[in-house]
Amino acid sequence: MFDSLYHYPSVLARHREGPSAEDRDRFLAHCADYGAAQTTLLRLAPELLLIARRIDVSGARMVRLEEVKAAADRWVGYQRRHHRIRSARFSRERFVQVATHWLRFLGRLQEPEQAPQAFAELSVEWARHLREERGLSAHTIHNQCWHVQAFLNWLSEQGGGLAELRLEQVDAFLALKRERGWCRVSMASAASALRSFFRYAGKQGWCSVRLAAGIEGPRLFSHEALPVGPKWEDVQRLIASTDTNDHQDIRDRAILLLLAVYGLRSGEIVALTLDDVVWEQNVLHVSRPKQRRKQDYPLAAEVGEAILRYLEQVRPRIRSRCLFLTMKAPFRPLVATSLHYLVSSRLKALDICCPRRGPHALRHACATQLVAEGLSLKQIGDHLGHRSAYATRTYAKVDLTGLRQVADFALGDLL
């Protein structure tokens, strides 16, 4: 990598002859493989040389984070004495960031030990039960364990244990979450997770067997709310706003079309790979985590054109097989939170009003449009990847045309 970055013999010799030259060169090549620009590598190489001179990485010794921070402080003090900087914040943060990334790449960073979570062994055992005996998905297990671990941490702070746990303590925990702004759905999810955990804990003898039956959350009514997606005209306006030559718009157009046309969840989009688009057969493979299988869709012409344009003009040429990547180096696969910001910021910029502005709002808009087109709930459920028609029933409430026809028919018979 040094040969491709530097041409002056003196500069090239300085980097080649500096300490840990081979390790620095490997890290630069690693960054280049992940799409780091030439200018980024030119800024990174001198920083690595500086770090290698101030932190001893010889042999196989592990480097503690405290040692990295101490070296950063010495470097900042040196710069101040020579009047090279006015503020030490950026220089110190840059030193620590690059050093930790490099040492972690080499496997030489001694990570600080995290404080053990309260009742960790019980949480691990319960997660194993959910996975191996109940067969729940990884996403469901993660959500339930998060709620239970939050309660166990709170209980540990109160100085209590499971054996002497009382129902009043569980109620106090849920009341605390309500005071901190948790909505009814979150409260109900927490209560359900705690009920499931204490039912298992009671059978294992960790706590009273009667505790689970007394845990109550707010009552949720089936289909109590209407779908919260924007109007279809607003969805079309949203997609039309990305019809430009801007690289970000090209990528976001493909994502928005997948959300609106197929009603995909954000997790299903970030899980798409290059192999999921079968161009020869015009098929799109979508992994359905709740169903633990892949679902095939015909690749719509507009969606296929948007994805192809993104691949040809925008997507970085890196080894990752994930379909959608970040726009700036180091290039990484998108995460679900990135899609939430993508959708919400664009809806806000267009002044499109709807109760929720995340990617799931476009899924609701897709289903509502399918109802308006006259598709049956079974067809809509299959399109959205629902496991049963029960999950699709909420969209029947937005079929105002059909409901009016039923009302007109019934009134006609009565009159």
Report whether 310 contacts 250 (CB < 8 A).
Answer: yes
395 is catalytic: yes
Task: In whole angstroms, give the CA distance from residue 26 to residue 298.
Answer: 43
Task: In whole angstroms, give the CA distance from residue 295 to residue 259.
Answer: 15
Catalytic, out of 147, 195, 265, 383: 265
Domain ranges of the chain: 2-110, 120-214, 232-406
Q: Residue 55: name the closest of 77, 70, 76 by CA.
A: 70
Token pair for 323: 């379909």
Report whether 193 contacts 143 (CB < 8 A).
Answer: yes
- What pLDDT sits at residue 377? 73
- What pLDDT sits at residue 391? 64
Which residues have CB under 8 Å from 313's CB, separation 6+? 247, 250
Q: How many helices (H) and strands (E) does the chain have?
A: 18, 5
Token pair for 19: 């300490």
Token pair for 190: 């927490």
Q: Strands across the sheet with 293-298, in order? A: 277-278, 283-288, 293-298
265 is catalytic: yes
Task: In whole angstroms, give the CA distance from residue 81 to residue 246.
Answer: 46
pTM over 0.85: no
pLDDT block averages, 10 residues each, the chain of length 415: 88 90 91 81 92 86 90 90 82 92 90 71 90 85 91 88 90 92 89 94 91 87 64 92 94 95 90 93 86 84 95 88 86 88 92 84 87 79 73 60 50 45
Q: Residue 297: name the closest of 317, 269, 325 by CA.
A: 269
404 is catalytic: no
Report whether 273 contacts 221 (CB < 8 A).
Answer: no
Count the neighbouring beta carbons within 10 Å of the beta carbon of residue 238.
23
Report whether 18 contacts 35 (CB < 8 A).
Answer: no
Q: Are strands 109-110 and 277-278 parallel, antiparallel or unpaired?
A: unpaired
Q: Using omega within 30 degrees of 0 as the cis cutoff, is the peptide bond preceding 330 cis? A: yes
β-sheet bridge partners, residue 293 = 288
290 is catalytic: yes
Catalytic, out of 24, 315, 346, 360: 360
What DSSP line would sit under 78-115, residue for residue? HHHHTT--S-SHHHHHHHHHHHHHHHHHHT-EEPPPPP
> CA 196 → CA 126, 193, 213, 363, distances in Å?
10, 5, 10, 30
- What pLDDT sits at residue 405? 52
Residue 30: strand, helix, or coil: helix
Helices (H), ranges, 120-215? 120-128, 138-157, 167-179, 184-203
386 is catalytic: yes
CATH assignment of 232-406? 1.10.443.10
> CA 190 → CA 24, 52, 172, 224, 380, distances in Å?
48, 49, 13, 19, 30
Task: In whole angstroms, give the CA distance from residue 220 to residue 187.
Answer: 10
Token pair for 127: 């997660």
Task: In whole angstroms, give the CA distance from residue 268 to residue 259.
Answer: 10
At the fourth CATH level, which superfamily is domain 120-214?
Tyrosine recombinase, N-terminal domain (1.10.150.130)
Task: Please provide the size of the chain in residues.
Answer: 415
Residue 298: strand, helix, or coil: strand
84 is catalytic: no
Catalytic, out of 14, 290, 356, 393: 290
For 288, the enclosing helix (H) or strand (E) is strand 283-288
Task: In whole angstroms, give the CA distance from residue 274 to residue 294.
Answer: 15
Catalytic, out of 24, 346, 363, 383: 363
